[in-house]
Structure 1
Amino acid sequence: MSSEGGEKTQCDMPWDSTHASGPTQHLSRKRMYTEDNLSNYDEVELEERANLPPKKLSKGEDADHHNDKVSESVSPLSTNDSSIPGENWETEIAGVGIVYEQFNTEFKTKVHIFKLKMSIFQIHQKLMDYFTKQLWKTAQQHIKTMNHQIQEYRIKKLDKFQFIITEELENFEKDSQSLKDLEKEFVVCAF
C-alpha cells in the first residue's frame, strides 16, 4: 500500500521488467486493479469469465446448448428465412418502393389539398372583392339617389316659397293699389 493515494496495486509482473512496444505480456490472467475502484474489478472478472471455455456438458445438454446458441445467433427479422442478409434486396427494394409510393401519394394528396385550399381562398378573396365593389357601387348609388332626392325636395320647397312670395307680392300690390285708390277718393271727396 502506498502512502499517497491509499491505493493498493497488485500485479504478477516484476517491477523491473521493460516492455517493448505492443501488448503487455503478463505471466498470468490476473489484471491490475485498485481497491478504490472495485466495481471496475468486477467488470474485468466478468469479461474474463466470458472468455473462458464453457464447462464440459453431457451429450444431451451439449446438443441443447448448441441449439440455444444457434437460435441466439439468428436475428428476429430472419427467423423464417435462412438466406444470407442482402439476398432479399428485391423485396427490400419493393418495400422501399411501397413506402415511397405511400409517401408520394400522401405528399400529392397534401399538395392537392393545399392547392384546393389556396383556390378556395382565392375564390373567397375574389368574392370578397366582388361584394366589396358591389357594396361600394350600391352605397354610391344610394348616396347619389339620396342627394338627388334632397335636391328635388329643396327645389320643390324653393318653388313653393317663390310661389308664395310671388302671390304675397301680388296681393300686396293689389292692396297697395286699392289703398291708393281709396286715398284718391278720400282726397277727391274731401275737397
Structure 2
Amino acid sequence: MTEYLVHLLRKSRRTLLASASGALMLAMPGAFAQDVTAPPAENAPPSEVQEFCTNIADAARDQRYVLQRKELETLKASVDDRIAELEKRRAEYEDWLKRRNDFLKQAELGLVDIYKTMKPDDAAGKLEMVHPEIAAAIVMKLPPRQSSLILGEMSDDKAAVLTNIISSASDPNTSKEPS
C-alpha cells in the first residue's frame, strides 16, 4: 500500500508540475509560442482573405475606372480651357488685323494727296489737331522725306504719339492688349 501511496504522490506531483508550467505559459504568452501555420493544402477551401479579395475585385476595378474617368474629365476640361484661350487670342488677332486694315484704308481716302501738297509746317499744325490714328496713317502714307519734315515741325509730344502708332501698326506681333 505504501507503494501505491508513493505512486499517487508522484503522479499528483507530476500533475501539479504540469499545471504550474501551464499556468506559467499562460502568464507569459509569447515565451513558448511557435509558428504553427501550415501551408494551404491544394484542395483546401479558400481562406477568408482570399474570399474577401475575390468578392471585392469587381468593386475595386469599378473604383479604378471611376478614378480614371475623373482624371480624364479633368484633363479634358484643361484642354477645353486651353482651346478657349486660343480661340480668344485668335479673335483678338483678327480684331487687331481688321483695325489695322481699317486704319490703312483711312489714309487712302485722298487725305494723303491733300497733305502731300502742303508745306511741312502747315501740315504739322493741321495733323496735330486730327485724331492721332488718322494723323499717323497720313504720315505713314507720305514719302519718307516729307513725313520727316512734318514730324520735325510738330510738338515733341504729338510727334512721339504718332511715331508710336506708326511703329505698332507696322509690327505684326503687336496685340491690342499685351498679355
Asked if these proteins are the same fold (TM beyond 0.5), I'd say no
Smaller-chain TM-score bracket = 0.3 to 0.5
The structure whose Rg is larger is 1
The alignment's TM-score, normalised by the length of structure 1, stands at 0.36
The alignment's TM-score, normalised by the length of structure 2, stands at 0.38
Greater relative contact order, per chain length (Cα 8 Å cut-off, separation 6+): 2
Larger fraction in helix: 2
